[in-house]
Amino acid sequence: MNNSEIYNLYQQYMHDTINNINCDIMWEGFLRGYLAAQPIKVTICVGIPASGKTTWAEQQVCADEYCVDINRDIVRLEILKERLLLVEDTNMWTVWDWSWEPEVTTRINEKINSALRMHKRHLIFSDTNLNIKYRNMLEATLVSKGIDCSNITLKYFDIDLDTANQRDVNRIHCVGKEVINKLYKQYSELMR
């Protein structure tokens, strides 16, 4: 039995449980035990905006039902939509208030907890992750939740500056040439 088949059985069990259909307790124990025994893999993407991190993460999530992308920009968009500050075709960076970042961090922790409760086995963080201090805090948070640090890997996204700037111009939530150039310099220094 492969992971997908076992996951489907678990989902059926959860559906039956929610709908009060009698379920075999042995199956519950088996499925929960099996999923809990699978190691949790974490990929922390590192790269400048428009380098392909989110696109890669979306491909992984589509290919693996045990995979989830946890992204600070997506959380920021959720907050803006909840506060009715984001209308269609509005660049989020024109209305974002950086004093809301602690709420973003709180929600990221909630998303990590939710992913673990849902037995996700591959957590991807597709932010820029250029700040070593933030990356270390993220890794410490994951380890505090029982994730083995040897299962945390960094995936680097190399891109030339011109291509990143060209891609950024075509995005609704573009960060702009100045930000791309600044983060490119930071990424280049990180890779030395």
Would you kindly state where each structural domain of the chain is located, as residue ranges? 1-38, 41-190
Q: What is the CATH number of domain 41-190?
A: 3.40.50.300
Q: What is the arithmetic mean of pLDDT over 85-92?
A: 72
Q: What is the pTM (predicted TM-score) of this model?
A: 0.78
* Alpha carbon 69 to chain centroid, angstroms: 3
CB-based contact 45:157 (threshold 8 Å): yes
Residue with tokens 């037995």: 119
Check residue 57 and give its pLDDT.
Answer: 97
CA distance 79 to 106: 12
Q: What is the arithmetic mean of pLDDT over 91-95?
A: 77
User: Residue type at 61?
Assistant: V
Listed residue (41, 42, 40, 69) closest to 53, CA to CA = 69
Check residue 83 and give its pLDDT.
Answer: 84
Listed residue (42, 52, 46, 189) closest to 130, CA to CA = 46
